[in-house]
Amino acid sequence: MKRLVTGLLSFIMLWLSIPTASALGTLPAPNEHQRHIVCTSLSDAAQAYYHDGCQYDSLSALSGATDPATGHTAMQDNELFDALHTLMTATHGYKTSYSGYAPGSLAYFWASTDAVESSSTYVMFYSDVMADSDGISLNREHIWPKSRASYVQSNGGADLHHLRPVVSTLNNAKSDHLFGDINGVYTDGVKAGSVKGEICYWVKNDADLFECKDDVKGDVARILLYVYCRWEQPNLYTDIDPTLLPPNENKGTNNGKKVVEDIDTLLTWCAQDPVDTWEMRRNDLVATVQGNRNVFIDYPEYAWQLFGRAVPVDMITPSWVSRRDVDGDGSLTPLDATAIQRRLADLSVLSFSEKAADADNDGEITIIDANIILRTIIKIT
């Protein structure tokens, strides 16, 4: 169904020749970052991954969906989807196993990828409690429910970018519900759930909905986008006719039901909960194992471009600061806004990139661009 993007060929040949850490029998050092610290720069590993025509400027120039009415039609005639799928598939050199704790398994690598501040255990998804906490039992969680997917416990069903450790009671409550907003939207039939005394999810069974806490919603959105694009599962934000679903593998039973309430919810969650430094580092560590990255962590902007929508002009992403660092000092400060204002006055006091100065990407440098930078500085601090 997908067309190979010619510009990626040299990139693919290079990456296929590079052994992953797992192939070499090594476990990466545990994730040293905290959760929920906003990431305002790409890691060195992320920058090294995108080359030979795969840089953001090149891929973001490709056309997105011509018809995003359904998750399936959004895949068609979509140059950007094809390029991202090809990139993440061609560089995916090693596949983890689903069960157990032996080398090569999901749980074996979680000790590295899902650790927090180099701890000796790992953090449980949705709740942020540690796996060694009293009374905690673990489930291997398909963020994209396996009843709504063409995989079970291999390929997309055992992908380290996708599968996460989850408290078993929370996993049972989540079941195979789709993601959506509940808290503050519904009053009847809502169950609030807690782990270790902290409310971290809501369930409304009669609406088939599950909502996680706000500071995990972006993680969820970026995982769903990865599975949609890497594993070509079309039922992302709309139900899909069974005849349009990919073939089931190893007893998969994809029912074609959507996994998130709608495309607006997906993008809102992605924007409201920015990538954190822990998530960026996890992406690095998974790449040392599998070879591929979740491109929606490095460049959340692709989520909007994929569906033919304008990227929010003041959304914080790992690359936003570097692209708006007008004076080139490595950080986003009021000096960058001042540089734009001086440019408007035609003083030419500071040297800066005209492209970076155009913060809202409208083709002109205006006072709006300076205001965008100032608003983003406030968000970051």
Residues 63 and 151 in one domain: yes
291 and 339 co-located in one domain: no
In a domain, 293, yes or no: yes
CATH number of the domain that residue 358 is part of: 1.10.1330.10
**198 in the same domain as 342:** no
Residue 330 and residue 272 share a domain: no
Question: Are residue 269 and residue 365 in the same domain, yes or no?
Answer: no
Q: Are residues 54 and 175 in the same domain?
A: yes
pLDDT tens digits for the chain (381 residues)?
A: 444 444 454 445 444 444 455 554 579 999 999 999 999 899 999 999 999 899 999 999 999 999 999 999 999 999 999 999 999 999 999 999 999 999 999 999 999 999 999 999 999 999 999 999 998 999 999 999 999 999 999 999 999 999 999 999 999 999 999 999 999 999 999 999 999 999 999 999 999 999 999 999 999 999 999 999 999 999 999 999 999 999 988 777 899 999 999 999 999 999 999 999 999 999 999 999 999 999 999 999 999 999 999 998 888 899 987 777 777 777 777 777 777 666 666 544 444 455 566 777 777 777 777 777 777 777 766
- Residue ending a domain, choose from 306, 339, 360: 306
Q: How far apart are CA 186 and CA 369, in angstroms?
A: 38
In the chain, the amino acid numbered 163 is L
Residues 288 and 339 in one domain: no
164 within domain boundaries: yes
290 token code pair: 């599998």
Please state whether 188 falls in left (phi above 0), alpha (psi between -120 and 50) or beta: beta
What residues have CB less than 8 Å from 291, skipping those under 6 apart? 15, 18, 20, 91, 92, 93, 94
Is 156 part of any domain?
yes
Distance from C-alpha of 217 to C-alpha of 96, rounded to nearest angstrom? 25
Domain boundary among 283, 306, 329: 306
User: Is 191 found in the same domain as 155?
Assistant: yes
Helix, strand, coil tally for the chain in percent (to 5): 40, 10, 50
**What is the signed CA dihedral for 327, 332, 338, 343, rounded to 10 degrees?**
50
Question: Which domain, by its residues, includes 352?
Answer: 320-380
DSSP annotation of 123 = B
190 and 240 co-located in one domain: yes
What whole-number distance in Å separates Cα of residue 75 and Cα of residue 173? 31
Q: Is residue 195, in this structure, part of any structural domain at all? A: yes
**CB neighbour class for 206 (10 Å; exposed up to 12, middle 13-18, buried from 19):** exposed
The verdict on 99 and 143 lying in the same domain is: yes
Q: Are residues 249 and 338 part of one domain? A: no
The reply to whether 350 falls in a domain is yes
How many whole angstroms separate alpha carbon 287 and alpha carbon 323?
Answer: 24
Residues 133 and 221 in one domain: yes
Is residue 186 domain-resident? yes
Residue 315 forms part of a structural domain: no
DSSP code of residue 114: T
CA 373 to chain centre: 24
Residues, the chain, total? 381
**How many domains are there within the chain?**
2
Beta strands in the chain (DSSP E): 138-142, 163-167, 178-179, 191-195, 198-204, 209-212
Tokens encoding 318: 């790992």
Residue 208: both structure tokens together: 């088939």
Q: Which of 280, 306, 332 is the last residue of a domain?
A: 306
